[in-house]
Amino acid sequence: MDEAFLQTFWISIKLASLTTLILFCIGIPLAYFLTYSTFRSKVVLQALVSMPLVLPPSVLGFYLLLAFSPNYLFGGWLNNWFGIRLAFSFAGILIGSVIFNLPFMVNSIQTGFSNLPASLKDASYTLGKSRTTTISKVLLPNIKPALLTGICLTFAHSIGEFGVILMIGGNIPGKTRVASLAVYDEVQALNFGMAGKYAMFLFLFSFIILLFIYSVNREYQKWKRF
């Protein structure tokens, strides 16, 4: 394998790993709030979280590109005060990836919380446990399949991102070029052999992750019956 091939996959895996780690830290408290909060307007937050599922990636990428541009308010503020340019950078595509993959993590964890009996949380509070202890020691251990699903789906979806990354990152080799963009480039150049290598890697990678999710969840369900 040539250096460009390995470099592209390293960027893809690094992007997916960091996206998954950040969203795991964000997703647990956000999913907890959406599940248990009685705040009426939380439906607005739920809609915003789920927007990337229905919004075309190019639209989200376009607005993020404008936001990151030094010619606009937020991007100009970052550039003038901190010397940070998010457009066409790895940091920029990472932020875009986190926003675009938010529902895959949050919705999976929220489903796990929703399927728990309410008495579990109430019993913990009755025993004098704090909210932090209740979440970490009582609730999370009982939604392991949901956590695993959120982690794996987020990682797999991040690996295959295209539209958002292209709009924000510009497909710069060694910097923002990920495997999905490489497939597009190679097809455009009529280099179907190399395109096939990238595509096969993405196909096998996604299949293995999904197979792992279903296998673990099946074993967990069998263990719960005993």
For the whole model, what pTM was predicted? 0.90
pLDDT in tens, 170-193: 888 889 999 999 998 899 888 998
pLDDT value at position 210? 83
Q: What DSSP string runs through 33-94?
A: HHHH---TTHHHHHHHHHHHHHS-HHHHHHHHHHHHSTTSHHHHHHHHHH----TTSHHHHH
Q: What is the CA radius of gyration of the chain?
A: 20
Q: Could you tell me the two tokens for 66?
A: 């404008």
Determine the length of the chain. 226
pLDDT value at position 178? 93
110: amino acid identity, one letter? Q
Phi-psi domain of 129 (left: phi exceeds 0; alpha: psi -120 through 50; beta: other): beta
CA atoms within 13 A on the CB side of 119: 0
The number of beta carbons lying within 10 Å of the beta carbon of residue 122 is: 11
Over residues 28-39, the mean pLDDT reads 92
Domain ranges of the chain: 3-225
pLDDT in tens, 9-33: 899 999 999 999 999 999 999 999 9
Over residues 60-87, the mean pLDDT reads 90
Confidence of residue 225 (pLDDT cuts 50, 70, 90): low
pLDDT in tens, 117-140: 888 888 888 888 888 888 888 899
pLDDT value at position 29? 94
- CATH class (in words) of the domain with range 3-225: mainly alpha
